[in-house]
Amino acid sequence: MINFDSFFTAISETPLSRWTPAFKDSLQQHFHNKQHGDLKKWLAHIEQFPQVIAKTTDFSQASIQIGEPGSLSSRQKTKLGDQLKLFKPWRKGPFDFFGIDIDTEWRSDLKWDRLLSHISPLKDRVVLDVGCGSGYHCWRMLGEDASLVIGIDPSQFFMMQYLTVRHFLADSSFYFLPLTMDQLPQPMKSFDTVFSMGVLYHRRSPIDHIMELRHSLRSGGELVLETLIVDGEEGYSFMPESTYGKMRNVWFIPTTDTLCTWLKRCGFLSTKVVDVSATTIEEQRKTEWIGGQSLSDFLDPNDDTKTIEGHPAPKRAVVVATAP
């Protein structure tokens, strides 16, 4: 139903080529076992988009720019705006389609700005983004001249948001695979840079996740890991009794020292915390493009330093480390 031939062509002359059979098997199993009931409907919506290739794109600015406002007629633009709303909620962004501004829940550009000056230049690098969501940060990686970007996320809905952008492009070096980390062949040891942002605290075993990240990197490759953290001493990690900010799938939230210890125990070198920032309602908020709750609903209405459950409010750290 979804053709991945261009992905296999793209990796054919890279170290990833030896894993082609494993990738094909994982993708076949994914769609055989987990095909979403709305997948055909979503793909049909995308086919109804204007058959226009964007003459200009810009992946280096805060909002991913696809096409110019004057490229579509007024009627086409109105129809496209309605079609894009069929893929709500738009969580990560922002995006601009031919002058249609998708004001996403997350200002993902703010996170990107916080980490970009602290990582190795992405020019000509082969990059993996784990838990890539809509693919916003992957497009930004292309904007930094990465040679090949692979984003993985098990959500077929997020893949539709990626395909929405891809529909208007003649070509792209960013490929979305609807897979989880444990569905990738291991150890690949093939990527120059691996990003894991907003994933670690969703994993029941953070150590297993860190080891998977390490085994995906070539020797000397760089890990960029962003996760929720809490204040406290080395060795401490907070585990909510039930929910955290109304999320049930939050397991371990470490201190920055604990996180660095985890990375070192897993063999990473040169571990460095490059940013610690509280998540604010300017960065994560309700917009017309999500149609649901956001951060303001997850915090104590009388004390924004706490979640609705009374836990410490979200604070995130970015750690950069080198694979042995």
Mean pLDDT confidence for 174-194: 95
For residue 94, pLDDT over 80 is answered with yes
As a whole number, mean pLDDT of residues 48-64 equals: 97
Task: Identify the CA nearest to 138 among candidates 195, 54, 216, 209.
Answer: 195
- pLDDT band of residue 198 (cuts 50, 70, 90) is very high
Evaluate whether 279 touches 316 at the Cβ level (below 8 Å).
Answer: yes
Strands 126-130 and 191-197: parallel
What is the C-alpha separation between 231 and 225, in angstroms, rounded? 18
Predicted pLDDT at 250: 98
> How do residues 229-275 score in pLDDT, each as one tens digit?
999 999 999 999 999 999 999 999 999 999 999 999 999 999 999 99
Confidence at 32, pLDDT banded by 50, 70, 90 = confident
Return the residue matching tokens 């409907």: 41
Contacts of 319 (CB under 8 A, 6+ apart): 223, 224, 225, 226, 227, 256, 259, 260, 263, 271, 272, 273, 274
What pLDDT was estimated at residue 96? 98
Average pLDDT in the 162-189 region? Answer: 95
Picking from 216, 172, 169, the residue whose alpha carbon sits closest to that of residue 190 is 216
**Spatial separation of the C-alpha atoms in residues 41 and 160, rounded to whole Å:** 11
Average pLDDT, integer, range 39-52: 96
Give me the pLDDT at residue 34, please.
84
* Kind and range of the H or E run holding 101: strand 100-102
Task: Supply angle C-alpha 27, 31, 32, rounded to 5.
Answer: 110
So what's the pLDDT on residue 307?
98
Q: Distance from CA of residue 278 to its chain's centroid?
A: 19
Q: Which domains, ranges and CATH numbers included, belong to the chain?
A: 5-322 (3.40.50.150)
Neighbouring C-alpha atoms within 13 Å toward the C-beta of 313: 18
* First and final C-alpha spacing in the chain: 39
Q: Which pTM value belongs to this model?
A: 0.97
Compute the distance between CA of residue 98 and CA of residue 101 in angstroms, rounded to an integer: 8
Question: What is the structure's pLDDT at 33?
Answer: 86
Q: Round the average pLDDT of the chain to a whole number and report it.
A: 97
Q: How does residue 216 score in pLDDT terms, banded at 50, 70 and 90?
A: very high
The CA distances from residue 173 to 6, 28, 60, 62, 242, in Å, are 9, 22, 15, 19, 40
Looking at the chain, the whole-number percentage of residues with pLDDT higher than 70 is 100
Give φ, ψ of 266 to 5 degrees: -85, 5
CB 59 within 8 A of CB 136: no
Q: For the chain, how big is the Rg over CA atoms in Å?
A: 20
Q: Cβ distance 197 to 151 under 8 Å?
A: no
- Cα 222 off chain centre by: 17
CA-CA distance, 11 to 221, in Å (whole number)? 18
Q: How far apart are CA 25 and CA 21, in angstroms?
A: 6
Q: With 80 as the cut, is the pLDDT of residue 1 above it?
A: no
pLDDT tens-place string over residues 132-154 = 999 999 999 999 999 999 999 99
The predicted model gives 182-196 an average pLDDT of 95
100 by DSSP, 3-state: which? Answer: strand
